[in-house]
Structure 1
Amino acid sequence: MLLTRITTQSALQHAFNIRRHVFIEEQQVPAAIEFDQYDRLDADCLHVLIRHDTVPAATGRVRFIGQSAKLERICVLKPYRKYGLGKQVIAALEKMAHEKKPKQYLLHGQTHAIPFYERLGYNVVSEVFMEDGIPHVEMVKKILND
């Protein structure tokens, strides 16, 4: 496994391809709403890419909102979901976000993934809501900065 912070347009394109497969093809999220103004290298957003062997297999991004770091667009290609890459994406995003000293990490988790996020220290803080046609909840992980 090779985990890298995305710093090139080529690596960002690999992340987009993963998101197309997972969100647009698998989950039927409309393409028009999957990509947004934060999908640039110069945005107030950090992106991560994980390769399994040499294959781009997982991605995610973190965006800073006030004193929170919001983890977003976390996904793993189906053939690679058995290797713990989702956990690695979360850990990498939290580590990158920690540099800006947020007070909390937050995310909108799909309801089927609540147990996964809870195992990583996140707590549900909202009722179920629809986002991109999929049921989600807001989840938060409070952090203590050094």
Structure 2
Amino acid sequence: MTVARINQENELEQAFQIRKEVFVKEQGVPLEDEFDEFDTLDGAAQHILVYHENAPAGTARIRWVDGFGKLERICILPPYRQLGLGKVIVAALEEIAAEQEVAKVKLHGQTQAEGFYKKLGYETASQPFLEDGILHVVMTKALAHA
């Protein structure tokens, strides 16, 4: 498996297709809520793709919010789950944050994934809340290498 930082429109479109499949089709997030002004190549967010055997399998992005690196839109296509790609994606985003000298990261994690993020060192920092009809919690982590 490999991780690539997205810097071309065709790569960004691959990421969008993965997000549509996971968030819109599978989880029922309205299409108009899934995409926003940060879904560009202009640097407002850094998008990544993770490949498994050269096939795009997952995606995510990180952007800078209130001194945090905010990990967003983390998703993996169903056939590639349980292969460790989620851990690879989070590590890649944390590396980008550290390169930007950001000492802490946060995310809005779906409550069903809370245990996964806790295993990666994240702490729950909020009560559950609804986002696009799905229960989430804010989770944070201080980066040791920042």
Q: Percent identity?
A: 47
Q: Residue 37 of structure 1 contacts residue 43 of structure 1 at CA under 8 Å; is this kept in 2?
A: no
Task: Give CA-to-partner distance per residue, 1:38-61, whole Å, 9 cap, x none.
Answer: 000003210110111121100000
Q: 1:51 matched to which residue of 2?
A: 51
Question: Residues 59-83 of structure 1, C-alpha deviation per residue, up to 9 Å, x if partnerless?
Answer: 0000101310000000000000021
Deviates more, 1:47-56 or 1:68-77: 47-56
Distance 1:113 1:145 in 2: 24
CA RMSD of aligned residues (A): 1.0
Which residue is 2:132 aligned to?
Answer: 132
- Give the whole-Å Cα distance in 1 for the aligned partners of 2:20 and 2:44: 22
Letter matched to residue 108 of structure 1: H
1:24-39 matches, within 5 Å, as 24-39=24-39
Q: How does 1:84-103 map to 2 (within 5 A)?
A: 84-103=84-103
Structure 1 residue ranges (4+ consecutive) displaced by more than 2 angstroms after TM superposition: 143-146
Is 1:124–1:139's contact at 8 Å kept on the other side of the alignment?
A: yes
Residue 78, structure 1, aligned to residue 82, structure 2: no
**Does structure 2 retain, via aligned residues, the 8 Å contact 1:50–1:58?**
yes
Normalised by the length of structure 1, the TM-score is 0.96
**1-structure distance, mates of 2:55, 2:143:** 33
CA distance in 1 between partners of 2:138 and 2:95 (Å): 20
Per the alignment, in what secondary structure is the counterpart of residue 37 of structure 1?
coil
- How many corresponding residue pairs? 146
For residue 118 of structure 1, what is the amino acid of its counterpart?
K
Native 8 Å contact 2:127 2:137 kept in 1: yes
Q: Which residue identity does 2:56 align to in structure 1?
A: P
Moved more, 99-108 or 72-81: 99-108
Q: Which amino acid aligns with 1:3?
A: V
Does the CA-based 8 Å contact 2:98-2:143 persist in structure 1?
A: no
Give yes or no for contact 2:8–2:41 (8 Å, CA) kept in 1: yes
